[in-house]
Amino acid sequence: MSVKLLSICIPTYNRCDILDETLRKLFANPDFNSEYIEVIVSDNCSTDNTKEVVSKYPSVKYYCNDTNTSFYNLTTVLCYSTGKYIKLYNDTFNFQFGALEKMITRIKNHENDNTNLFFYPNFLHNHNTIKTIDSINSFFYHCSYNTTWTAAIGFWKKDFDQIRNKNKYAALHFPQLEWMYTIVNNGKLTTIYFEDLFEVTVPKKKGGYNVFKTFVEDYLSIVKKEKISFYIYELEKYRLCKKFIYPWLLTLLVTNRHSYSYETKGVFSIIFNKYWYEPYLYPMLILFWFKKIL
């Protein structure tokens, strides 16, 4: 049996309706070619009809964990893959028109050039462009905290297999960061395609953890351990504060809180512990309270 070119790896838990729609659209995609692509689902011990939904798609390789392993399931589903390039694919994703064909073509083009290959959504200053980077500093400059998003996670399987501690940050909800940082530091050039390839189906209810602790405390503590410059670290903190923390404050505490189940206990304490000495924090908080009063 020939090795597939691309493994689409889907971790899921109790979202059978959304997963059904995701799989239906994936297999109905005119660019889907089973000669090149395998689809894998790792069910994190769902209590809904996930197994029955997946059974409607016989070519899907289905695995079910004995217990809910939380974010460790991201590692699990990738370990089931057999393709040359492995792509983490959220159960809420759908390829935009023509996107799957683009990805397959680019994987073919880079298959033998001994470089790392990433596909990132449009982000910050990078829109519909290609970047070649040669350092972890450059990686942070161009990708920032977008490295945490499932849509950005994909790499050659041979490089993933060489990562020794694949679950180093799984308990902190970020196993993907160890994968990406290790691969970027493997001594090869990294080619990144920035382009929006996916549409996202938003679940009726999102959450289950403290988004501020996860990103302000845990994410920044992981970043701090990397060998990046002082400037890049401070830039990362600023971007996270302006483009992620502040919008989430507005979302959770002012506008659509009923749509989320994220824990918000101790939010301001968490932010102050990490940002109290940063001068840009206080104008943001003043603006936040002004909007909240209005």
User: Following DSSP, what letter does each residue of 70-134 receive, concatenated?
Assistant: TTHHHHHHHHT--SSEEEE--TTEEEPTTHHHHHHHHHHHHTTS--EEEEE--BTTBSSEEEEE-
Contact 13, 43 (CB under 8 A): yes
* H or E element, residue 288: helix 281-293
Tell me, which fold does domain 6-200 have in CATH? Spore Coat Polysaccharide Biosynthesis Protein SpsA; Chain A (3.90.550)
Question: What's the sign of the alpha-carbon dihedral 114, 118, 123, 129?
Answer: positive
Q: Which of 180, 189, 183 is nearest to 113 (CA)?
A: 189
Q: Residue 13: what pLDDT?
A: 95
Q: Residue 255: what pLDDT?
A: 52
Q: Which of 160, 148, 122 is nearest to 216 (CA)?
A: 148
Domain boundaries, the chain: 6-200, 208-293
The predicted-structure confidence for 206-251, as pLDDT tens digits, reads as follows 656 788 999 999 999 999 999 999 999 999 999 999 999 988 888 7
Q: How many CA atoms lie within 13 A of 130 on its CB side?
A: 7
- C-alpha 288 chain-centroid distance: 28
The C-alpha atoms of residue 20 and residue 246 are separated, in whole angstroms, by: 34
Provide the 8-state DSSP code for 190.
E
Q: Which of 183, 204, 166 is nearest to 71 (CA)?
A: 166
What's phi and psi for 205, nearest 5 deg?
-140, 125
Provide the 8-state DSSP code for 199.
E
The predicted-structure confidence for 159-180, as pLDDT tens digits, reads as follows 999 999 999 999 999 999 999 9
Q: What is the dihedral of CA 133, 135, 137, 138, to 10 degrees?
A: -10
Residues sharing a CB contact under 8 Å with residue 104, sequence separation 6 or more, in sequence order = 5, 6, 31, 33, 36, 37
CA angle (154 as vertex; 69, 13 as ends), nearest 5: 30
Question: What's the sign of the alpha-carbon dihedral 44, 265, 290, 280?
Answer: negative
Measured distance between the N- and C-terminal CA atoms of the chain, rounded to whole angstroms: 64
What's phi and psi for 192, nearest 5 deg?
-120, 120
- What residues of the chain score a pLDDT lower than 50? none
CB atoms within 10 A of CB 286: 10
> What global pTM score does this model have?
0.92
Residues sharing a CB contact under 8 Å with residue 22, sequence separation 6 or more, in sequence order = 10, 91, 92, 93, 94, 201
Q: Residue 276: what pLDDT?
A: 94
